[in-house]
Amino acid sequence: MSFMMDEIMEQPEALGRTLEAELNHARAFRAFAEKQDFRLIVLVARGTSDNAALFGRYLLEVTTGIPVSLCAPSVHTIYHARLRLRDTLVVGISQSGEGSDINIVLESARRQGAYTLGITNEARSGLARAVHEVFLARAGKQRSVAATKTYTTQLLLLYLLASALGPEITVRELSEIPKRAAAALKLASEVKELVERYRYMRQCVVVARGLNYANAFELALKLMETCYVVAERFSSADFLHGPIAMIERDFPVLAFMPPGRTFSGLRKLLERLKGLNAETLVITSEGVRLPAATRALRLPVDLPEIYTSIPYIIPGQIFAACLASIKGLDADKPRSLQMVTKTV
Amino acid sequence: MSFMMDEIMEQPEALGRTLEAELNHARAFRAFAEKQDFRLIVLVARGTSDNAALFGRYLLEVTTGIPVSLCAPSVHTIYHARLRLRDTLVVGISQSGEGSDINIVLESARRQGAYTLGITNEARSGLARAVHEVFLARAGKQRSVAATKTYTTQLLLLYLLASALGPEITVRELSEIPKRAAAALKLASEVKELVERYRYMRQCVVVARGLNYANAFELALKLMETCYVVAERFSSADFLHGPIAMIERDFPVLAFMPPGRTFSGLRKLLERLKGLNAETLVITSEGVRLPAATRALRLPVDLPEIYTSIPYIIPGQIFAACLASIKGLDADKPRSLQMVTKTV
């Protein structure tokens, strides 16, 4: 087995450990945040961590009402802009904590008056030293270049942050997450069989909307880096504004379809794709039949939409790891990549 | 010739007309904005207009110091979040002004205390009615489904907005834009010859950084919707955090390489891609030799980096229009698309 698959399997424990260790921290942060009255949240990250940030963008706006901006690092690192960041919470996310551009942005934001918070897996990293406060992931050492358990623990810490900044995310629901992740892992053997069908897939599109939009980015990134599939990713709305023209017979479209507010829009898209004779693979936990889907992976667990993001990426991670394996590729060591990528 | 190519050619006039008509408006807005003292700018758009918004994000942060957030429409239209938008300027961008989700966001933002501004080509649209104030593009009627002149006039209006909100963008430089667009059009015959080489291109990556990052999105979108090429788009920094693993011998990478702050990073990437035996096509106006590039399109004009975005997309637009043509496709009527896409 690959390190990647090992680390996928470790996720229930990594999530449980992280939740237990940081729960009181989040409670304390709630009191601090109430005094601070943040007017804006800026999230800064790269790669998989940037996909976690994209999740945080939706979760934090939807549950706290505080506007969120996803930072463009070059504004700080290349153009040296001085932004007005008073009353702003700037959150840096990095597995290793050694992304040089992320740390430059955090230091610059701190000088410009922001309160800075780091989400990282490494307590002694440059990121941990640069920020006012660290929410620490306990994912254990990451040995595969393709990040999996660090992505989901980052998502969990963003839920904890949301629980500190608004009323909607509750500890009771968060404590269900490790169990729900374990339920998602039960799909492993089904995914392993299914993946044979995609042995020769060279390109695809991954779509989702809202809280699962980040998962579309993350699954596409996993497919690009471990399987060398040219994987595009779109919100199902943006997809209709142009890219759908690419779709022809047999073109594979992967879709995250949680129950709740994004479901009916995605179902309509699925029907349209069936009309174009595209191949569709759906990840869902919704019970209704989906006759328009070519294939479906059903999570054996009942989930409120807002808590789907962590369990839903798991069959995607397994899909990428298994597909890499049957393509004869080493998911742990993608060509051209290192564990820590330094960019400015 | 296609409507698309006609409209590409109309851009110097469309830009000149728009600039002349809106210059005094921008001056008046400056006085208003000084009183308002905006703390945050939110940009909301879809499709090509969303690529214009992505440009606005960089331009406005770099030249005004006001933080910018690219709106996730579903936060408003699907999750019905109530964001704290006091002291916020919300800018909606839409060619037709009839994007239903954009208009819903603008109405909701207005109720939540934001000042709303619309950038549109249609003075009598729903968008124009929804906002406090309109910056009106004078691109003339758009007849091709693939937007070109409306994209560059939207960029121009974002420059005008930046000139009203900060000191860096000057009217003197803006008045050069129509001429510089005309200079870029001189590449048409060279592009038409070059495009033969890409007759069988099925997938590619477009990269850029900072102020031209939006052009990477826009060129990729043009290639997807008019040529059905699976075109990925990345910041050259994000590209190194995973997707570069896709690159193998002959994989085409298109790059915007303006002079200035992003040049050296892109040159390094180009050399790395040469090492991977990728095919690279560079759009640049920088005079230095680029031995690592497989092909280069050189704009015959001297440009400060901050004013490259409009001229640089033009050879990209021509490239897409010509490639569609030699692939035997109708760039004006991409399959599966309509002129106005309505999403919620």
pLDDT digits (tens, 9 = 90+) for A65-113: 999 999 999 999 999 999 999 999 999 999 999 988 999 999 999 999 9
Q: Do A188 and A42 reside in the same domain of the chain?
A: no
Q: Could you tell me the two tokens for A191?
A: 């995914």
Boundary (domain end) residue, out of B140, B175, B210: B175
CA distance A20 to B130: 48
pLDDT digits (tens, 9 = 90+) for A149-182: 999 999 999 999 999 999 999 999 999 999 999 9
Q: Could you tell me the two tokens for A265?
A: 């829009």
In a domain, B271, yes or no: yes
Could you tell me if the ipTM is greater than 0.90?
Answer: yes
In a domain, A69, yes or no: yes
In a domain, A336, yes or no: no
Q: Do B229 and B155 reside in the same domain of the chain?
A: no
Alpha helices in A276-328 (DSSP H): 309-326
What strands, in cross-sheet order, belong to the sheet with B40-44?
B68-70, B40-44, B88-94, B115-120, B133-136
pLDDT interval class at B344 (50, 70, 90): confident
pLDDT interval class at B336 (50, 70, 90): confident
Q: CATH number of the domain that B296 lies in?
A: 3.40.50.10490
Q: Do B163 and B231 reside in the same domain of the chain?
A: no
In a domain, A262, yes or no: yes
In a domain, A341, yes or no: no
Mean pLDDT for the stretch of residues B104-126: 97
Q: Which residues of A touch B246 (CB under 8 A)?
A: 224-225, 228-230
Boundary (domain end) residue, out of B122, B146, B175: B175
Over 80: is that where the pLDDT of A341 sits? Answer: no
Q: Do B106 and B230 reside in the same domain of the chain?
A: no
Q: Do A207 and A89 reside in the same domain of the chain?
A: no
Q: Do A18 and A152 reside in the same domain of the chain?
A: yes
In whole numbers, what is the pLDDT of chain A averaged over residues? 96
Q: Where are the beta strands (DSSP E) in A144-293?
A: 203-208, 230-235, 252-256, 279-284
Is the minimum CB–CB distance between B83 and chain A shorter than 8 Å?
A: yes
Boundary (domain end) residue, out of B130, B159, B175: B175
pLDDT score of B339: 75
Over 80: is that where the pLDDT of A30 sits? Answer: yes
Q: Which residue of B has its CA nearest to A59?
A: B75
**Cα angle B112, B115, B117; round to 5:** 125
Q: Do B149 and B240 reside in the same domain of the chain?
A: no
Cβ within 8 Å, pair A84-B67: yes
Q: Do A170 and A186 reside in the same domain of the chain?
A: no
Q: Do A129 and A215 reside in the same domain of the chain?
A: no
Is A174:A329 a contact under the CB 8 Å cutoff? no
Number of domains in chain B: 2
Is B93:B52 a contact under the CB 8 Å cutoff? yes
CA distance B327 to B123: 36
Q: Do B191 and B100 reside in the same domain of the chain?
A: no
pLDDT interval class at B241 (50, 70, 90): confident
Q: Which residue of B has its CA nearest to A340?
A: B241
Interface of A with B in 119-178 (CB under 8 A): none
Q: Where are the beta strands (DSSP E) in chain B?
A: 40-44, 68-70, 88-94, 115-120, 133-136, 203-208, 230-235, 252-256, 279-284, 295-298
pLDDT digits (tens, 9 = 90+) for A32-74: 999 999 999 999 999 999 999 999 999 999 999 999 999 999 9
In a domain, A28, yes or no: yes
Cβ within 8 Å, pair B84-A66: yes
Q: Which of B49, B84, B150 to mutate to test the interface with A (most CBs of A within 10 A)?
A: B84
CA distance A325 to A16: 28
pLDDT digits (tens, 9 = 90+) for B158-183: 999 999 999 999 999 999 999 999 99
Q: Do B205 and B151 reside in the same domain of the chain?
A: no
Please tell me which of the candidates A242, A262, A341 has its beta carbon nearest to residue B224.
A242
The residue range of the domain holding A74 is 3-175
Is the minimum CB–CB distance between B31 and chain A shorter than 8 Å?
A: no
Amino acid residing at B164: A
Q: Could you tell me the two tokens for A153?
A: 């623990």
pTM of the model: 0.97
Q: Which residues of A touch B62 (CB under 8 A)?
A: 75, 79, 81
Q: Do A321 and A191 reside in the same domain of the chain?
A: yes
pLDDT digits (tens, 9 = 90+) for B219-232: 999 999 999 999 99
Q: What letter would DSSP give residue A296?
A: E
In a domain, B332, yes or no: no
pLDDT score of B246: 96
Q: Could you tell me the two tokens for A122?
A: 């490494």
In a domain, B340, yes or no: no
